[in-house]
Structure 1
Amino acid sequence: MRRFTRNAAVAAAAAVAALGLTVTQASATSLDTWTVTPGGSFTATATNPTLTVPAATLECASSSASGTLDTGSGNPGAGIGTITTLSFTDCSVIGIDFDVTTAGSMPLNVNGVSSVANAVDGSITNIDAHVEGTACSADFTGQVTGYYKNDTKQLVINDGNLTASNADCLGVINDDDPALYEAVYAVSGGHTITLD
């Protein structure tokens, strides 16, 4: 019994120590600051972005975005920039034309130095999009993730957590469907984002 109690105490202490280490590491990451050069306004364009749900893929000819980035050093990663406009052209699902609209501004966040060379990992949050086509409509909310390449000035979106709701789409899109948005945006302005 004493051995069991002692072993349980050791295990509990190890768990607490591990948890403390995890929290410390997460806190250190959240305290990282970033330098943006030159910062300010940007525009971005993507060719052939896609939004995929389990039963179908929405394909668009192009997408355009604009917004602002913080300037200088000492910037927190959360909210380091904002997308103020996001639009899509010539979108369709299985040959049916769709309109895609977005509401509100979307924060740009840097989450860390990427494993991709010359890049930072990041996310776009507060996404609120609506798709509308013949006998089909749905909303998509959540965030997307990816990385920004400092050398090529490209924002690559390749993952995230978007979810469908208010779906009325003959089973092609359903409530709670996960959705994957994929796009490569060419970003204007010559911006670089680096760890301080």
Structure 2
Amino acid sequence: MRTIAKNTAIATAAFVAALGLSISSASATAQSTFTVSPGGNWSATSTNTELSVSGSVLTCDTSTASGTLQSGSGLAGDGIGSITGITFGSGDPGDCSFAGIDFDVTAANLPWALNVSGPNAGDPDAVDGSITGIKASISGTLCTATFEGSVTGLYNNTTHTLSLDGGGTLAATAANCLGLINVGNHASFTGDYVVTPAQTITVD
């Protein structure tokens, strides 16, 4: 009888421990949800976009983007919004230049996905996120290249600014650029896009 009771106690303890582990694991892997207000259509402008590749930097005097955001609470972070259009430069000579050469920059594979991953560790008014599905090409005298991948950044709810920080997987997938850019080179894309109408994105 003692043996049965002892075995039952051990089995019960093991079950409780396993249950606790399952609950902890589920909690640890639970995804945050977010609230977006007002959502809907948005546009944004940056005056400091840069694409840095192998020590050379392509700069554009202006870049404009537009897209949509979901609206409401309980929203998943992945695909919370999209970029449906983005341009670099206004078409005037010198708007975008790389190594002293004028360049055209063309976006492809639109829409690009806007994702939010959670609160920013250093700024309570900001959320971290990424842009995925990016594809864009640059073309100038004796130099063409195509870039694909993702970029990381944050959205600040006070300044209503999407700031890209140069992280992510963006890299050259095709290049013919006098050795300045080669296939596989990481591309660091930075810029601050001020969004209108002002959006608020918070963790639920």
Bucket of the pairwise TM-score, normalised by the shorter protein? 0.7 to 0.9
d(CA) in 2 for partners of 1:73, 1:142: 29
Cα distance, 1:25–1:160 mapped onto 2, change above 3 Å: farther
Distance 1:167 1:26, change over 3 A: farther
| Structure 2 portions without partners, runs of 5+ | 1-21, 90-94
**SS in structure 1 of the partner of residue 168 of structure 2:** strand
Structure 1 Cα separation of the partners of residues 111 and 188 of structure 2: 20
2:191 is aligned to: 183
CA distance in 2, matches of 1:21, 1:93: 53
Asked which structure has the greater CA Rg, the reply is: 2
Partner of 1:127: 134
- The answer as to 2:159 corresponding to 1:155 is no
- Write the deviation string for residues 14-42 of structure 1: whole angstroms up to 9, x where unpaired: xxxxxx899646621xx221110111010
- Higher fraction of strand: 1
% identical aligned pairs: 49
Aligned residue pairs, count: 176
SS of the residue aligned with 2:29? Answer: helix
2:32, 2:117 within 8 Å by CA — same for their partners in 1?
no
Q: Which residue number in structure 2 is paired with residue 100 of structure 1?
A: 105
Unaligned runs of 5+ in 1: 1-19
Map of 1:87 onto structure 2: 87
Structure 1 residue 126: deviation in Å?
Answer: 0.2
1:76: which partner in 2?
A: 76
3-state SS, counterpart of residue 156 of structure 1: strand
Measured against aligned partners, the alpha-carbon deviations of 1:50-107 in whole angstroms (never above 9, x if no partner) come to 0001141111111100000000111100000000001100111121000000112100
How far the C-alpha of 1:48 sits from its partner, in A, is: 2.1
Alpha-carbon distance in structure 1 between the residues aligned to 2:74 and 2:64: 29
Asked whether the 8 Å contact 1:55–1:173 carries over to 2, the reply is no
Question: Cα–Cα, structure 1 residues 145 and 47, in superposed 2: closer, same or farther, change >3 Å?
Answer: same
Question: Does structure 2 retain, via aligned residues, the 8 Å contact 1:148–1:155?
Answer: yes
Q: What residue in structure 1 maps to residue 13 of structure 2?
A: none
Q: 1:74 to 1:182 in 2, by over 3 A?
A: same
Secondary structure of 1:137 counterpart:
strand
Which residue does the alignment assign to 2:203? 195
Q: Secondary structure at the match of 1:140?
A: strand
